[in-house]
Structures are given as C-alpha cells and as structure tokens.
Chain A
Amino acid sequence: MSDALQVIQDPTLTYRQEVLALARLGEATDHSLVYSDAYYAAKAKGALCDLNEGPMPYRPRYICPDYKLLFQKGCDFLQLDPPRDLLEAVNVLEIFYCHVPSITAYPVYLGDLDKLLEPFVIKEDRAYAKKVLGLFLRNIDRVQTDSFVHADIGPEDSVTGRILLELTEEMQLAIPNLTLRYDPERTSDDFALACVKCMLKTAKPSFANHGMFTREWGEDYAIASCYNGLKIAGGGFTLPRMRLYECALDAKSPEDFLENELPKYIDLQLEYMDKRVKFIVEESSFFKTNFLVTEGFVKQENFTGMFGVVGLAECCNHLLGIKDVKQGFGLNEEATQLGLRIMDAIEKRVSEHVAPYCDAFDHRYRLHAQVGIDSDGMDDSPGTRIPIGAEPCMLDQLEVNEKFHPYFPTGTGDIFKFEETYIKTPEAILPIIKASLARGLRYFSGYLENNDVVRVTGYLVKKSEIEKLRQKKQSLNQVTLFGMGAQDGGHALDRRIQHHEESAHQ
C-alpha cells in the first residue's frame, strides 16, 4: 500500500490531520537541497535525526511573533486594527494565530497572555472577563488542535493570570500548554501556590527559571512548544538532534567517543543546520514575503538554530558498559561525570562554530535537550533525563537536573509525578521548586497521578483521548497519537511517583 493511501484510509486521522500528513509526504519527494553523504549515512544509522522536518524547509520550525506590536499597530495583511476592548483583543488573537506557521502548522507560541490581556480585562466586570476568556480558551483548544501550542504567564500576579488558572482547572483541557515564568523577586508565593495547585490538577503550568532565561535571552523571551526558550519576535530556524546512544555505538571507549566519534557527529549536525538555515533565509520565500516578516512581527536576526541532543543517559551507560539502568547515569557518579564531560565537549564545539545568520546570538546556535519522539522507545531517554523506571528519590533527581539544565538555553525540563496526598499540601511542593530553580534547574513540570490530563515527555495529552485512538476513533488533538506511542514504546507515563512513605505511627 502506498504511504498516501495509508493516510487516506487511516480511520483515526481527522481531515486536517490527513491534509498535513499528505503535505509531509509531498514535501519529502523533492531533494533539491542536498546534504553530504556522511550526513545521510549518520541518519541511516540513527545517530542523527531530522525530527521529520522535511528535506526542504519552507518556514522556520518555531515562530514567536511579537504580539505586543500586533496590539499596538494592528496588522495590515489581516486587516486588523489595534483592539480597543477585551472582545476585540481576543478576536484579533484568534485570527492571528491561524496565520502563524510552524513545524506542526499550529502556532507554538500564543504570547504572554496575562500581560497582553490585562489592560482589557481590568476594564471589565470579572465574571464577564472570565466568560470571554473561557470562550477564548475553548477556541484555542478546538481550533489550534495541537499540544505544542503554548502560552506564558507571569512573573507577576494578575487578574488575567488568576482567571486563566481558574479556567484551566475548570475546563481540564490539554491545549494550550502553559508556563509560569517564575522569578522569586517578582512572583508572589500566593500566586505561585495557585499555580502549583493548578499544576497538580491539570499538569500545567510548568515553572520556568525566569532569571536564567533572562540572563541568556533578555526579558523578551518566550517559552514555546514543549519547553523551548526562544526570542520573542524571533524563534528557532531548525531543530535536528544527535541521538547520543547511537552516536556512541562505534566508540571503543569513553575517550575514543570524546575524541573521535562525538566531534564527527557534532560537525555533521552543524553542517546540516548551516545548510538548512541558509536555505530558509536565502531560498525560501518566508523571510522575503511573509507578512510576519514584512510587518515586523518577527525579525530574521532574532532566529537561531537549535542544536538538539537526546539519550545522554543511554550513551553514558553504554560507554561504561553499564547494563542495569538503576546503576547507571544519574545514580552512579562515574556515569554522571561522564555525562558532564560529554556536555562540556558539545557545548564547547557548538559555541566555536560560527553559524550563518543568528545575528542576535553572536552567530551561534544554542543547545536544546530534545524531549524524544514516540518512535525512540527506550533507546534514548529525553535530553539528559534519567531513564523512566530508574528515577532515584526526588532530591537525587533534582540534583542531577540542576547540573545539566544550564547547558540548554533553548530548552530542557523534567517532570515529576506526585501522589494524591499532595493535592492537600501544595505548600510542600513550592519550596522544592523554588530551591531547585535557585540551584540551576531550568524548568519544572509536575502532575498528580490519576489525572486525565497528563504530561507525556514535554507536551500534554488526555489519557481518555489516548483510549479513543486505541478504539480506532479520531482524536481532534494531533499530538494524542504521539502520546500513545510514548506510552507504549517509552513507558512515558510510568515515571516514579513522589509519594509520602508510611509515617512511623498508624
């Protein structure tokens, strides 16, 4: 059966999912952009992976429009005036979102919703504002049907932020993904606690280390897609990844890996990225004619390439001959130290490479801990995470994360699953998040076991929607399928639970 026929006959795909799947097949038939033989060989081996970006990029992978500008001057191309009240503001956004491209065809960044909407919300009666925002969230969930659609709030408390949290809890939707930009100086404990409560019940928001992101990107940064740090009015050109376990398979020793195999694959991935970035900027029409560019909602110089890695744990364990993951990376000092040496080497080599364009970043690409895809199975754990099933106690896990998170300005994160009693004690979670962010953690996600909305590797899905797919029914959210794959192949929902152990006395 041809691939196209398979798509057309798949009972679980919605119409729009079919169109996108067919478009991807079409894209893959043109090979005008040629990569090196060595690259193709590495790809065939599974050592490098293009994350199905397609051979000929026709838009940047992630785009983070400047919505502030949209609200200031409107948009000529879409014939939108600057909004004057809440209804107009929400309507402007809903229309604009439909015209923001990305790798998924859905907008991966919806803006700092609280900051954008607060001036309008406070002019309205609270109940009315909540009704409007509820319809806005419903529109996003049903129209932007992809879990990589992401909105940000914080660092400050706001009426809009509070209403969004309330609605998130009441509506229990997987879309959009949500992040609190947490800053101990600017985020009140009360607001942070409200976010923890909401996170326990809905798996969002996650907590981003505002200080760390600001130091790297300036105040104008976005958290988009899973947990990706990017510049507002910019974004990410492309995101390929090194599958570190496969990269290590031919190495004779850790030293051989560090001296020969690793640099070889880093260079191949850099060369691949350079080609794609040049193609997007020089050949494709996006940066020449798209209204986002011509009207200034994004600027080419604010884009960078995202250098992805995945499977550091399995790479280290393989190089040290460790078979039992419970004795390996993250639980074994030697393996963790090797991980740090590998990351130092990657960081150094990537930072020495002069990248085309990327003007706002001193012509450098930035590292990204890629979160894995459903087909990775158990071979490559997300980014630098400890493999599922081997997670040590939460304190150990955080300490490992704190060492590795600083390497990844374009995003990394870890997820913690909490036992039911935590719903009554959110104040027992906030100090953990605060301390860990202060000690180098970049991004914290959590959820309560037994939730319907759960965080798979970085994105959210509903367990009830996965069940639909199993019964060969359609799921509106195109990411549900990845969730099922990650659950089956990567056991992504079986992560360790932070539970209260029995106290001493009955």
Chain B
Amino acid sequence: MLWIEGYSIMKKAPINKIIYFSNVDGPGNRTSIFFQGCSFHCHFCHNPETISLCQNCGRCVPQCPAKALRMEGRQVVWEEAKCVQCDTCIHVCQLFASPRVSWLTVEELLSRINRALPYIEGITTSGGDCTLYPDFLKELFSRMHQAGKTCLIDANGAYDFSKDSALLSVCDGIMLDVKAVLPAWHQWLIGQAPDPVLRNLDFLLAQHKLQEVRTVILPGQEEENKATVQYVAHRIQDACDYKIIRYRPFGVKEAYQKELGEMETAVEEAEAYVRLAQSLGASRAYMV
C-alpha cells in the first residue's frame, strides 16, 4: 500500500481533521484527531471520504467553488485558508478520499494541538483507522503522556494489538468497533471476516485496555443485530461501556443508503438492544 510506504519514509501521517473539544470520544473533554485511511470498507461508514488516500486524479479540483484546490505538478493541493467547508470535493470523489488532508509529522501535529492541552483530559485518535500508523501513534502518545494527558484509540479492530505491546503500553484504552459477529454478515458489510476484531475483543479485555465497545444497530436487521449484541454483552459484562449506536443514513454513500435503507434506526428498536445487553450482564450499555 502506497501510503504506508510514504508514511514510514517520511514519518508523517495523513490527518483529516482535528476537533479540539469533543464530549463523545471518551471521558471528559478530549481533542479528537482523525487520521485518513482505513483497511475496512464499511457500507454504513458515515464519513466514507476518510477511507482511502487521495490518488491525485484531479476530478474534485475544478468543482471547488472557493478555488481552494489546485494541481501542483501531479499533486492536488488544498489551501485551508480558502476552504469554505462546503464538502463538494468529498461528494465528487469516487475513490472514498478527500483532498483536505494534511501530512504532518508528530511535531507538526503537536504544534497544532498544544494550545488545547490546558482544557482537555486527553486525546482520542480516530479516523479512518489510526492504527494504520502505529509508530506515529507511539511517538504521539509518549509525548502526550509527558504532558500528563491520556490517550485513547478509536479502532476498527483490524490491527493485531497482541503483537504490539509497545503501543498498548502508551495507550490508556481502546474503543473498539464490533460491527458484526456472523461471518457472512461481516464479510458483506465490511468486506472482511470478523475474526481479527473478535480476537482483539478478547485480548484487550484480558489486558484491561478496553474503554468501550461500539455496535451500530441497523434498522430491521434483527438476526444480525441480536447476534452481535449477545456476543459482545456475554463477553464484556461490566468491564467497559457498551455504546449501542443507532444507524443514521446521514453521510453514507448513496448507493449504500439504498441497500441499508434510508431510515434511521428507531429509538425504541435500539433501546430494546440496550436492555438485551443489560439483561446479559453488560450493565454499562447505553444508546446514542
């Protein structure tokens, strides 16, 4: 994979977005850092523009109403100061990418988030999937720990944490997506088998590094939803939070919206799964 090579040579990671104050990415007030790129390809991803890296095809450039995009040689260049955040470029892109990505070294990223440090409890790295860049994370997290801040990873579960004790030792907790457990369903939804995710679930539980597990409830997919919630609840019990997320079509690519339905998951439907999880011992289950 091209970007992984680029990353290891330059010690830079592609950063899609920084949200200085977030109340939904772990305990307290946190800065969320979104990395670009993901090894999964979920149908219901609601920011699909973070999945791939830009291939510099140039298709989005003429569409930008603010002239914030231009070609420099064969590279797309994004001028942050001109951008009006209209999102036209990410809708135009056919490759699940975004031109609004900055390749930053750890040092450069720190210089952007330092000003938030007095106000936050810690940072949460997310994406895309930030675990594509484990060395970058290790350096970033050690620097954050020196500053007295906690570091959480929001992970899709593809990365084998059991092989990276160095990363685990500088990470205060992992928020793991368990999207599905039935193999065929996982394969269809994500494009891969669920096994690595489920191995991580057990491993991180045993290591006491699980901050939270998350499952998206899709409307009407009763058998699949139930299997996932039962599986997770049985395993985690009261060891961590269990966030039951209602599917919302907002942001999802149109083609997939058609497959998955244009409806949100009803509150009552999701609440029933929260109760199911709680009845199986996952007392810290809640809905968003």
Task: With CB as the reference atom, state the residue of chain B lying closest to A433.
Answer: B119
Q: Of B23, B32, B42, which one neighbours A425 at CB under 8 angstroms?
A: B23
Contact A504 B154, beta carbon cutoff 8 Å: yes
B213 to chain A, nearest CB (A): 12
Q: Check B20 against A393 for contact (C-beta < 8 Å).
A: yes
**Chain A residues positioned under 8 Å from B20 (CB to CB):** 393-395
A427 CB contact (under 8 Å) in B28, B34, B154, B252: B28
Q: Given the complex of chains A and B, what is the CA–CA distance between A501 and B31 in angstroms?
A: 12
Contact with A along B161-203 (1 / 0, CB 8 A): 0000000000000000100000000000000000000000000
Chain A residue with the shortest CB-CB distance to B32: A503
Asked whether any CB of chain B lies closer than 8 Å to the CB of A399, the reply is yes
With A395-B119, A438-B118 in contact, is A431–B28 under 8 Å at CB? yes
Q: 8 Å CB contacts to A: which residues of B236-256?
A: 245, 247-248, 250-252
CB–CB A432/B216 < 8 A: no
Q: Is B19 an interface residue (CB 8 A)?
A: yes
Inside 8 A of B177's CB, which chain A residues have their CB? 505
Q: Any chain A CB within 8 A of the CB of B29?
A: yes
Closest CB of chain B to A149's CB: distance in Å? 32
Contacts of A399 in B (CB 8 A): 115
Asked, given contacts A431-B121, A435-B118, whether A506 binds B24 with beta carbons under 8 Å apart, the answer is no
Alpha-carbon separation in the docked complex, A435 to B21 (Å): 13
Given contacts A436-B119, A504-B34, A504-B154, contact A428 B45 (CB under 8 A): no
Q: How far is the CA of A399 from the CA of B19 in the complex (A)?
A: 16
Alpha-carbon separation in the docked complex, A431 to B120 (Å): 7
Residues of A within 8 A of B245 (CB): 506
Contact B21 A506 (CB under 8 A): no
A505 touches B156 (CB 8 A): yes
Which of B24, B47, B154, B288 has the most CB atoms of chain A within a 10 A radius of its CB? Answer: B24
Residue from the list A421, A425, A435, A498 in contact with B119, Cβ < 8 A:
A435
Name the residue of chain A whose CB is nearest to the CB of B44. Answer: A506
A159 within 8 A of partner (CB): no
Contacts of B32 in A (CB 8 A): 503
* Given A428-B29, A439-B118; 17 other pairs, CB 8 A cutoff: A394-B20, A399-B115, A421-B288, A425-B23, A427-B27, A428-B28, A431-B28, A435-B118, A500-B23, A501-B19, A501-B22, A503-B126, A504-B34, A504-B126, A505-B42, A506-B42, A506-B252
Question: 26 A-B residue contacts at CB 8 Å?
Answer: A393-B20, A393-B21, A395-B20, A395-B116, A399-B115, A425-B23, A425-B24, A428-B21, A431-B121, A432-B21, A432-B29, A435-B118, A436-B119, A498-B21, A502-B47, A502-B250, A503-B22, A503-B32, A505-B45, A505-B46, A505-B154, A505-B156, A506-B42, A506-B44, A506-B46, A506-B248
What 7 A-B pairs are tightest by C-beta distance, nearest first? Answer: A428-B23, A500-B24, A435-B118, A435-B119, A425-B23, A504-B126, A395-B20
